[in-house]
Every structure is written in C-alpha cells, then in structure tokens.
Amino acid sequence: MEFKALIFCFIASILITPLVKKLAVKIGATDQPNHRKVHKKLMPRLGGLAIFLSFIIGILLFFPDSGYTWPVVIGSTIIIITGILDDMRELSPKLKIAGQLAAATVVVVGGVQVEFINLPFMDDKLEFGYLSIPITIVWIIAITNAINLIDGLDGLAAGVSAIALLTIAGMAITMGNSFVVIVGFITLGSTLGFLLFNFYPAKIFMGDTGALFLGFMIGVLSLLGFKNVTFFSFIIPIIILGVPISDTIFAIVRRFVQQKPLSSPDKSHLHHCLLRLGYSHPETVLMIYAMAALFSLAAVIFSQATMFGSVFVLFILLLLVELVVEVTGLVSQDYRPILNLVKDYRTKR
C-alpha cells in the first residue's frame, strides 16, 4: 500500500503544482529578488500548497482511520495557513512561532509525545512526565524551523526533506510502524512531484508554506518513528536531520558571535558558503544532498551497530561536521582550529 500511496501522491503533486503556480501569480504570492536571495527575477511561491494538497488527498484516501490522522491533518493545516499568510504578507517572527506552537500543540494533544527513554549502561528508563509535552513541542518547532532555514536554493529544502522522509519511512518498515511508513511515503511522493518543478532552474518556490509544512511533518514523523526508545536510538532522528540541524546550530552560534539577534537573516548558511567557494547553484544543491544522504546512511549504520560502534560513528560524524564548518567558514572565516592544527604540524615537520 505504501508504494501505491507514494506513486499516487507523486502524480497528484505533478498535476496540482502548475495550478498552484497560476494561483500564486494571480494573488501576488511572489518572491521579490533582494541582496540576500540568489534568484534574480520575480518567482511565484506558495508551492508548498501543492505538496500539502497532495498529502491531504493521500492521507485521507490511504490512512483515514488512524488515531494520529486527524491531529496530523489539523496541525499541518494550521502550519499551512501560517505559511500562506507569511508568503503573502511576511508575518513577524512572533506570529510565525505562534502558528507553529498551535500546530505542535494539536498533535501533542492528539497523542504525539516522547514519554521516556531507556538509559544506556543501566536497566532503567528516564520518565519525562509533564516535561514530555514541552520537549515534544520544542522538537517539532525546532525541526520545522531547521528545514525553513535551509530553503535558500532551488530544490534544496525539498531534496533534503525527501532524503530524510525516505530514511524515516524506510527505518519504520523494519520497526513495523505502519502509520509512519505510509504517511512518510505519502509526504515523500508529494515532495518528489513538486521537486520536478522546483529543482534548478526552479519554476516555482515552495515558500514558507512548503518549508514549514515539510519541517513540521518530518518533526512529527521522526517522533512517532523513534519515540520511547533507547537513549542511543533517540539520537537517530538527530543524525538523519544532521544537515538542517547543524546549519541551524551554527547559524545561532554565528549570530551570537556577531552579536546579532537570532531572528536576523544573513547570507552565511551552508549553501551560501558553498556558493562563495565557487561551486555553481546545482553543484551546491547536489553536494548538500550528498551530505544529507551520508547522514541518513550513518543513521542506519548507527541503528544496527554495537554500543562501541555507535559511539565511533557519532565521533566520525562530529569530526566531519567540524571539518565542513571550518572549510566553508560557516561560523567565520577565522574559525579553523583543526585545520590550523594540521597546518602547524605540517610546518614543524
């Protein structure tokens, strides 16, 4: 059933996206070029509406009876409304967070919560109790904004989201979690259909409508796929989403170092840094796809490895992240501790 859902939503998204493109132009939901943006001409956004409509048709057709279905549908509808208003009127950060908070609260009330994790090295578990609600809400909002922050190049957010969705749904198959499998494939098919119009050179942008929706769905599905598991397994969704999470973390660090507000936009995200290094638009996107795929592969290996193997995989990933940060100048051009150490070692030899 999951593959039927994927193909159906893929085709539905292909058919709906041109209609949404016309709607975006008609109502003025367009993206103006400016000093921060890469594109040079007026572009229709609101493309996320096509992903959402395909998703809604798919979930109501293939999985209408799950206890999670309606909380997810209502929560994602709130997110879509927030995104549409932002694409049309540019909401303030406070209003955007309010919309995300409302959507996250709906799914938490609907039963999506991380209640406990089993602790390593001991036969015990850590119960979150009342903290399970804020922890779940913070996770969903954090992932929602992480996907939104990487939406800076044609096809980037859609492709990275597709890789994450494929990994989450694929691992859910081994766990027998039918809701995450089917809804994951429904969201994946809807995203891939849209990606045909969004990859370089893009004919339409997903806008905050799409980025917020995909981030919200990935946040929810990752919780449902890995909730109430061991401490080490709880790291799996963090690894899968390594690219958007690390880009978000270093954006926060960068703004703290530069003494700028956290909500202030800049042109120093990972894709901006790769462009400055001389890579073309499609090369940059494909390189970040490769990084996302590497994180997903590492998550699969991590899930099957022994405890020692899991720690080793985590160490290698952290080392690679640090090297990418230093090479690209993600924090600043002067932040190069490991590269400077290697340079000093070579000089002394």
- Looking at residue 161, its pLDDT comes to 96
What does the pLDDT look like over 276-290, one tens digit per residue? Answer: 999 999 999 999 999
User: What are the Cα distances from residue 183, in Å, to 172, 206, 237?
Assistant: 11, 20, 16
- Bridge partners of residue 30, in order along the sequence: 44
Amino acid at 239: I
How large a percentage of the chain has pLDDT more than 90? Answer: 54
More confident residue, 333 or 48: 48
Domain range annotation of the chain: 2-111+121-348
**Does residue 244 surpass a pLDDT of 60?**
yes
- Which amino acid is present at 244? P
> How much is the pLDDT for 20?
95
148 is in an annotated binding site: yes
The residues, ordered by sequence, that sit 6+ positions from 114 with a Cβ below 8 Å of its Cβ are 128, 132, 135, 136, 139, 223, 227, 228, 234
SS3 content of the chain, % helix, strand, coil (to 5): 70, 5, 25
Q: What is the mean pLDDT of residues 229-254?
A: 81
pLDDT digits (tens, 9 = 90+) for 261-273: 766 767 788 898 9
Q: At what angle do helices 132-149 and 93-109 cross, to 10 degrees?
A: 130
User: In the predicted model, is pLDDT for residue 40 greater than 80?
Assistant: no
pLDDT at residue 233, as a whole number: 58
Mean per-residue pLDDT, 6-13: 97
Burial of 111 (0-12, 13-18, 19+ CB in 10 A): exposed
Question: pTM for the whole thing?
Answer: 0.90
pLDDT, residue 69, reads 93
Beta strands in the chain (DSSP E): 30-31, 43-44, 116-118, 125-127
Closest to 195 in 3D by CA, of 50, 86, 44, 56: 50
Q: Please check if 208 is assigned to a binding site.
A: yes
Query: Closest Cα partner for 258 from 315, 329, 206?
Result: 329
pLDDT tens digits along 105-131: 999 999 888 776 665 555 566 777 788
pLDDT for residue 16: 97
Residue with tokens 């880009």: 247
